[in-house]
Amino acid sequence: MKSTPINYMEAVASLEPLEDRKMRKTLTQYTKFQHLTSHPMHKLIASKPKKRLKRTNFTAYALQIHKRLDLPDLKPDAPLQTSIDWPPWSQQSHPEIAKDIDGISTKRSMSKSLLRCVTQDMLKEKYPSDHWIRAFTDGSASEAIRDGGDGSNCPCGASRQDAQHILQDCPQLEEARRKYWLEPREMNQKLYGSALHLGITAEFINSLDLTI
């Protein structure tokens, strides 16, 4: 039965021998444990290894390497001081998950446009825009945070197909808008007006099979 030629493979790949890497790692960890007085291994390596069993342990192996290579004394000059007492993630509060929105009892009782308006008002109140960064991952925004749209280009050639463009500006939807609004209406009236105006806006969007 042939074994893998580890030594030959290390020589061809110009890798450090496995035994040397093992010794270096052992000495590095041994030195760390000596300096870290609060580590559980600190007391273990400080005690003399017992010689009752014919097997090597971590401490005995580190001392053998030290003696074989004639290295300087392994005793630490001063213990290492940790930068923080507790990891940062242990001091952070758990994220708050909002499952309910004030003003919405059931989705079926309100139109989609009204649900969107109520949700946006809640987001503006609880999550101000200057307290967080909104990142767009669909390629619709420059540098993922500026001039973000909904990720789709309008057939008329505009780079953004947002609510303002659909309800007011798109030339290809001008005829469709006139069917629902006989007179020009402002954007605020279409999105934040009375229930009648919101209903007209919802019917217009549903006729286009779009979500804004």
| Same structural domain, 122 and 202 | yes
Q: Which of 9-13, 134-138, 162-166, 199-203 has the lowest mean pLDDT?
A: 134-138
Give tens-digit pLDDT for 71-113. Answer: 776 566 666 666 666 666 666 666 677 778 887 877 777 888 8
Give tens-digit pLDDT for 129-154. Answer: 777 766 656 655 555 555 544 455 67
Residue matched to tokens 């090597």 = 56
Residue 74 resides in a domain:
no
| Same structural domain, 21 and 113 | no
| Same structural domain, 117 and 34 | no
Tokens encoding 181: 């609004």
Whole-number Å distance between alpha carbons of 21 and 84: 31
| Cβ-based burial of 69 (10 A; exposed 0-12, middle 13-18, buried ≥19) | exposed
Residue 23 resides in a domain:
yes
| Same structural domain, 188 and 115 | yes
Q: Let me know: does 59 contact 45? Beta carbons within 8 Å.
A: yes
- Point out the domain boundary residue: 69, 98, 124: 69
| Same structural domain, 119 and 59 | no
Residue closest to 198 by CA, chosen among 111, 119, 108, 105 = 111
Residue 175 resides in a domain:
yes
Residue 141 resides in a domain:
no
Residue 95 resides in a domain:
no
Residue matched to tokens 């000596």 = 34
Whole-number Å distance between alpha carbons of 117 and 127: 15
Query: Given a cut of 50, is residue 57 above it in pLDDT?
Result: yes
- Point out the domain boundary residue: 69, 89, 122: 69
Give tens-digit pLDDT for 161-192. Answer: 778 888 888 888 888 888 888 888 888 888 88
Residue 100 resides in a domain:
no
| Same structural domain, 43 and 130 | no
| Same structural domain, 116 and 201 | yes
Residue 155 resides in a domain:
yes
Q: What is the pLDDT of residue 184?
A: 81
Taking CA 123 as the corner, what is the angle to CA 127 and CA 177, rounded to the nearest 5 degrees? 145
Taking CA 146 as the corner, what is the angle to CA 133 and CA 140, rounded to the nearest 5 degrees? 105
Q: How far is CA 15 from the centre of its chain?
A: 36
Residue 97 resides in a domain:
no
Q: Count up the domains in the chain and report the number.
A: 2
Q: What is the pLDDT of residue 53?
A: 59
- Point out the domain boundary residue: 23, 46, 69: 69
Alpha helices in the chain (DSSP H): 6-12, 18-35, 40-46, 58-69, 88-91, 112-126, 163-164, 174-180, 187-192, 195-208
Range of the domain at 30: 6-69
Q: What is the pLDDT of residue 126?
A: 82
| Same structural domain, 114 and 32 | no
| Same structural domain, 124 and 175 | yes
Q: What is the pLDDT of residue 79?
A: 63
